[in-house]
Amino acid sequence: MYSYIYKISCKDPKIKDCYIGSTNNFKRRIRQHRYSSENIFHEQNNLYDFIRNNGTINNFQFDILLKVLVNDKKDLHEIEKQFIKNNDNLLNKYIPNRTQKEYYNDNYESLKQKRLIRYYDNRDEILLKKSSTMVTCECGSTLTKNHIHRHYKTKKHLNFTNKVCINEI
């Protein structure tokens, strides 16, 4: 079937954001976009919110980027995906046929950041827990409560108690 990769962009050249889509019926798809831009309010939609924030769909143009013969929707989505990947300023939230790995690569930076934030959150929590169970022995050592009995048998602690004993004599 013949299919199309198309681009929706604002007629105002200062506005760079655009949307890339695919269809096997270009005219019908444009009618759907027009209808949706005027009627779809109930869900968060980047494209239609953007169109409404910049007037109406009449301020936007539809360009066919590629006319292509494909076997099925999956093939078409694969081509669409390449176009989406090679364009900046896209309003597309959904990338067709995107694998888990591709999603990971595309979002590497933000995932990394999330991991770092989680790490620091946990680290603070761990440090806080630790500090609440830390005690300072009379010999000057700082250790966790759990280790206090073991600590009483260490050389450092025994040396200290011996010194105290000698001083007291």
Binding site for Zn ion (CB under 5 A): 137, 139, 141, 157
CA separation for the pair 104, 3 (Å, rounded)? 29
Dig out the tokens for 112 from the structure.
Answer: 């990394």
CA separation for the pair 30, 132 (Å, rounded)? 63
Nearer to Zn ion, 30 or 139 (CB): 139
Instruction: For the CB of residue 165, give the shortest distance to Zn ion in the complex, in Å.
Output: 14
Nearer to Zn ion, 33 or 157 (CB): 157
Under a CB-based contact definition with an 8 Å cutoff, are residues 8 and 28 in contact? no
* Strand-strand pairing, 2-10 and 18-23: antiparallel
Instruction: For the CB of residue 138, give the shortest distance to Zn ion in the complex, in Å.
Output: 6
Instruction: For the CB of residue 151, give the shortest distance to Zn ion in the complex, in Å.
Output: 6
Dig out the tokens for 81 from the structure.
Answer: 């995906």
Nearer to Zn ion, 66 or 139 (CB): 139
The radius of gyration of the chain from alpha carbons, rounded to an integer in Å, stands at 32
Instruction: For the CB of residue 168, give the shortest distance to Zn ion in the complex, in Å.
Output: 17
Nearer to Zn ion, 81 or 157 (CB): 157
